[in-house]
Amino acid sequence: MADFQIAPSILSADFAKLGQECDDVLASGADIIHFDVMDNHYVPNLTIGPLVCDALRRHGVTVPIDVHLMVSPVDRLVGDFAEAGATYITFHPEASDHIDRTIQMIRSAGCKAGLVFNPATPLSYLEYELGNLDMILLMSVNPGFGGQGFISSALDKLKRVRNIIDDSDLDIRLEIDGGVKVDNIAEIAAAGADTFVSGSGIFGKRNESDPNKYDTIIQEMRDELAKVG
Ligand code: DX5
Ligand code: ZN
């Protein structure tokens, strides 16, 4: 069985009870927490910063926190998120003037580093940095909002990146973000993803019998993934 990881995006959670929301998705079988940081500059929306990451750690979240930076500039926030308990820090190459420097900053701070590719961003950024990456995140929506539809060209891109990773023999996670639901997660896994961000697909789908729990939807995703391997 492949090492598939389900990463609920707390962008779609109830921010008034964020700690409880994290506890509930994790108790329901999620693997990691996806943490979307938006700055109203790189993307036209504004969300959460290092204080909230730190608060989740203090609340008792021990699983990896996957910080997806949709901010420009990037470097100023790397140390703050490392101190706040981030596990992964991923960023968009267009948002950094010096991509290699940013990756080195993330790793020097003790975090795992990832590059994020928008639907129209070419994969050429991988050419000289593959060996410095712990994660490659492909966007299957344009960044900035939850609840958008999956852009199907991401499937071909996933296949290409899966081949690049496998040919390299490097230990790099391949994450997909945007429009991931029960009805497309198997196709996305078959294309090569191993880490699945889902915001509205999970937080919008609480158990009918117990609206604070997410076991049913996460189990449905696992059942779909089991069909793939
Ligand atoms: C979009 C964010 C995503 C978003 C996904 O910019 O990076 O993580 O929360 O939301 P859904 O799963 O609803 O598309
Ligand atoms: Zn994200």
- Ligand nearest the Cα atom of residue 146: 1
Query: Would residue 169 show up in a list of annotated catalytic residues for this protein?
Result: no
Q: Is the dihedral of CA 225, 141, 132, 110 positive or negative?
A: negative
Identify any residues that bridge with 35 across adjacent strands, giving them in sequence order.
67
**What percentage of the chain reaches a pLDDT higher than 70?**
100
pLDDT, one tens digit per residue, over 132-169 is 999 999 999 999 999 999 999 999 999 999 999 999 99
- What's the rounded Cα separation, in Å, for the pair 198 and 30? 10
Closest CA to ligand 1's atom 10: 146
Q: Which residues line ligand 1 (CB under 6 A)?
A: 9, 11-12, 34, 36, 68, 141, 143-144, 146-148, 177-180, 197-201
The shares of helix, strand and coil residues in the chain, as percent rounded to the nearest 5, are 40, 20, 40
Q: What is the pLDDT of residues 33-61, one digit of tens each?
A: 999 999 999 999 999 999 999 999 999 99
What tokens does 61 get?
């979240």
Q: Which amino acid is at 96?
A: S
**177 has catalytic annotation:** yes
**31, 39, 177, 194: which one is catalytic?**
177
List CB contacts of 48: < 8 A, sequence separation 6 or more: 15, 35, 36, 37
Q: Is the pTM of this model over 0.85?
A: yes
